[in-house]
Amino acid sequence: MTLGDARRGLTAISSRLAERADGLASLTGPADDHPVPSLRLLGAFDPLLLGWASREMFLAPGGPVISVNGLFRPFMLVQGKGTTVWRITRGKVVPGETGPLDTAQRSALTAEIADIERFLKQPASRPPGS
């Protein structure tokens, strides 16, 4: 993203921004105004967790240890909070203990798992001429 693109994006939403005490900006309005995906499976080193002084806003209270000795583990994001880790074993996605999920979240989890497993089954592409 270029600086010009960032400026145009911020200008487009400027009426929904409020300056915080620390000099940064936050979106204004009710939380329902800011859609959050119900559930996503994010990979290790997902950009969501990188570059923050504190990751507390993305981690569920009492949630999983997502970062160990500087290494990030794949994790499940439910309503904007990291709630469990997941792994791949023998080409299958194995989520950690999820706790209660509503119908939409269970459907989203099924779809996320299917997408990842479908990706894993694709043959590796080779560069032309190799």
pLDDT, one tens digit per residue, over 78-121 is 888 888 899 999 999 999 988 889 998 999 999 999 999 999 99
Please state, in angstroms and rounded to a whole number, the distance separating the CA atoms of residues 127 and 52: 36
Average pLDDT over residues 34-55: 78
In a domain, 28, yes or no: yes
Give the structural domain span for 54.
36-121
In a domain, 46, yes or no: yes
In a domain, 57, yes or no: yes
Q: Which residues contact 60 (CB under 8 A, 6 or more apart)?
A: 78, 81, 82, 83
pLDDT score, position 110: 94
In a domain, 64, yes or no: yes
Q: Which of 80, 84, 82, 73 is nearest to 45 (CA)?
A: 73
Selected residue with higher pLDDT from 58 and 90: 90
Average pLDDT over residues 45-70: 77
Q: Calculate the alpha carbon distances from 35 to 59, 101, 107, 110 in Å.
A: 18, 18, 18, 20
pTM attached to this predicted model = 0.65
Selected residue with higher pLDDT from 45 and 107: 107
Count CA atoms within 13 Å of residue 11 on its CB side. Answer: 6
DSSP 10: H
